[in-house]
Structure 1
Amino acid sequence: MSKIDLHMHSAFSLDADLPVEILIDRCLANQVSTLAVTDHNSVHSVNVARQYTQNKDVTVLSGIEIDCSFQGGNYHLLGYGFKGDMADFYNLEKHITKLQADVVPVKLQKLKDLGFHLDEDHLYHLAKGNTPQEEQMAELILEDERNFSHPLLSIYRGEGARADMPLINFYWDFFGAGKPCHTPVAYPALTDMVSLIKSNHGIPVIAHIGANVKTDHLKVLDEMKAVGVMGVEVFSSYHNAELANKLYDYALGSDLFVTCGSDFHGKNKPKIEVGICNYDLAAEQYIKRFVESALA
């Protein structure tokens, strides 16, 4: 059976590693016939994906995942089906890249304050001229023999409780909201990003709400709908069946689009594979309706 996956990342996302072409080949090998590459704050994959799939039996939507803020919290807003010269998105990428680069020294100092050793020159070499990512910091910290006996790191090694996906787990455990290395970034307002996507004839969809808030999901979604969000990523690798069912019923009852996505990244999230979105046949029909709208 063919699959739909509308949330995945190529190497144009600094925390992912596969070139667009290899990512699409991976999708085809996993029977994904409808997809969107939604790189972080970047649309560089769009034309590459279109050109590479010209003679392939696959449907590709233009996509992006934007870091944004709403009511004091950080969220990810997906944009689909946008058209035009994409200049607005290129300018957005430059802006967010600077915001993220400016806080790297602060993050590194917070890691040092916890007693972690990290070779900064190696970190910037690993980043290849881009903004160093938290997962790269985690990789170097875990590999550095000076940290082998650090008590905070044992859970990321061997059979440790967080060793299944050590790099992304390190990110969540140390850089998530309320965690010791969390560093606020003044991301663009969600309302402005909704307007940006719509002004480029796209559809704004809130990504994996379950990864961003633990309670009151529907209340938050009501407030996001009020400012123009048009869809919910119901089926996500971050949502269990109970939450997915709740979001599904909410979306249908609120006249919002239903979408799905694995959030594939590659080595940073090794347990997540393309095409693993866990929707059923009934939900697939609503997802297909969204795809048709995004392609119109």
Structure 2
Amino acid sequence: MAVDLHMHSLFSVDGFSTPEELMEIMAGKGITTVSLTDHNSVDGVERARAKARQLGLGFVTGAEFDVEWHGSEQHMLAFGFDPANTAIRRICARHFAQYPLNFERFLPILERRHGITREQLAAGLAKRYRTKEAPVLNKWYAREFMVTAGISVDDRAALAAMSAIASEAERNVATPWVWSDLETVRDAVHAAGGIILIAHPTKFLRGRMRDQMRLVEAALAGGIDGLELYHPANMAEPHFNEFVEEARRLGCALSGGSDTHTDPNRDKSNFSAPDWLVETIANALKRRVSHPKES
């Protein structure tokens, strides 16, 4: 049996599928346990859970949070928490508000460089984020718009154009993104009955296993419950098998997922992770219930 515990629906600003479509895709691939881990949002969780139940899939409540940790941005995966928890909802609302707030700096540059107006972008929001209430303008959506409007020839060209705009927009901004610190998110997840894991720990330390393990060990020392082990970025590392051995020796919670964001009509990946990962998550959740004050 195989699992996928890291995926994004259109409740993430850069996701394409509805929660229901994602569950159907996973069932079609033979995945048996899933978790919807939208960026800074739990709004799609109950829809995904209902569809997963209908399809006979195991389901783990999840989310992926941006956090500030030692002066830099880091992604954290949360599992098994109460998605209705007030503190979790408050963090999600604060973080999600960063997307349109950050994009306000992009708008005048987009119009000056490419003739794209707020009104043009807003006109397509409801169609792009179908079934999502009150979608917001953001740089990922604007990048897609540049391709569909014929302003950029392809995704790569749009990415380059948006990167140039970001450089100008954020030139004199000390903190373009303002995320909660790791401790705040960690404590909220724990108080809501969940666990928190460092996501794709190799992604920004390519080929440097010692540094990757130091990052993981620092996270664990800081009250994080484990790490995402099976992820395309991790699995691309030449030392991945050794990384797995080291991670399993830690005895912490381990997860794995495709990190898919894609349009259901374009998703051709065949990612899967082993189902024993779910047991490590379940064990960590039990420990959290037994020792709720630990962090």
Q: Shorter-chain-normalised TM-score: which range? A: 0.7 to 0.9
Letter in 2 for 1:235: Y
% same residue: 20
Shift of 1:93: 1.7
Give distance in 1, aligned partners of 2:108 and 2:264. Answer: 23
Q: Is the 8 A contact 2:42 2:83 kept in 1?
A: no
1:267 to 252, 263, 267: 263
Deviation at 1:100, TM superposition (A): 2.6
The alpha-carbon distance between structure 1 residues 133 and 212, as it changes in their structure 2 partners (threshold 3 A), is farther
Out of 32-41 and 215-224, give the one that drifted further.
215-224
Match of 2:191 among 184, 189, 199: 199
Q: Quote the offset at 1:33 in angstroms.
A: 0.7
Give, in whole Å, the separation in 2 of the partners of 1:271 and 1:174: 28
Unaligned segments of structure 2, at least 5 residues: 127-133, 287-295
Which amino acid counterpart does residue 47 of structure 1 have in structure 2? E
Alignment-mate amino acid for residue 196 of structure 2: P
Counterpart-to-counterpart distance in 1, 2:120 and 2:146: 11
3-state SS of the aligned residue for 1:54?
A: helix
Aligned pairs, number: 271
Question: Structure 1: which 5+ residue stretches go unaligned?
Answer: 149-153
Does the Cα contact within 8 Å between 2:4 and 2:256 map onto a contact in 1?
yes
State the alpha-carbon separation in 2 of the partners of residues 268 and 34 from structure 1. 19
Q: What is the alpha-carbon distance in structure 2 between the residues aligned to residue 174 and residue 142 of structure 1?
A: 16
Query: Under a length normalisation based on structure 2, what TM-score does the superposition of the two structures give?
Result: 0.79
Partner of 1:31: 30
Question: Residue in 1 aligned with 2:7?
Answer: 8
Query: What does 1:272-283 correspond to in 2, within 5 Å?
Result: 273=269, 276-277=271-272, 279=273
Corresponding residue number in structure 1 for 2:179: 187
Q: Is 1:245 matched with 2:257?
A: no
> Which letter does structure 2 place at the counterpart of 1:245?
N
Aligned to 1:137: 142
8 Å contact from structure 2 (residues 200, 229) kept in 1 = yes
* Closer/same/farther in 2, CA of residues 127 and 73 from structure 1, 3 Å limit: farther
Write out per-residue CA displacement over residues 148-182 of structure 1, whole angstroms, 9 at most, x where no aligned residue: 5xxxxx6x46xxxx4xxx76x55995589xx6666
Kept in 2, the 8 Å contact 1:6–1:35? The answer is yes
Tell me, in whole angstroms, the C-alpha distance in 2 between the residues paired with 1:171 and 1:64: 30
Q: For 2:233, what is the secondary structure of its paired residue?
A: coil
Write out per-residue CA displacement over residues 249-284 of structure 1, whole angstroms, 9 at most, x where no aligned residue.
Answer: 3322322222111011123995663x614x5xxxx3
Asked if 1:292 is matched to 2:288, the reply is no
Give the equivalent residue in structure 2 for 1:69: 68
Partner of 2:130: none
Q: Deviating runs (4+, > 4 A) in structure 1?
A: 109-113, 169-176, 179-183, 268-272
For residues 83-131 of structure 1, give each alpha carbon's deviation from its aligned partner in whole angstroms, at most 9, with x where no partner exists: 3732222111211122332221213345567x34423212223334422
The amino acid that maps onto 1:83 is D
Instruction: Rate the CA distance shift 1:247–1:200 in 2: closer, same or farther, 3 A.
Output: farther
Q: How does 1:220-235 map to 2 (within 5 A)?
A: 220-235=215-230
**Structure 2 counterparts to residues 149-160 of structure 1, below 5 A:** 156=154
Of 244, 247, 258, which aligns to 2:254? 258
- CA RMSD in angstroms comes to 3.1
Shift of the 120–5 alpha-carbon distance from structure 1 to 2, 3 Å rule, reads same
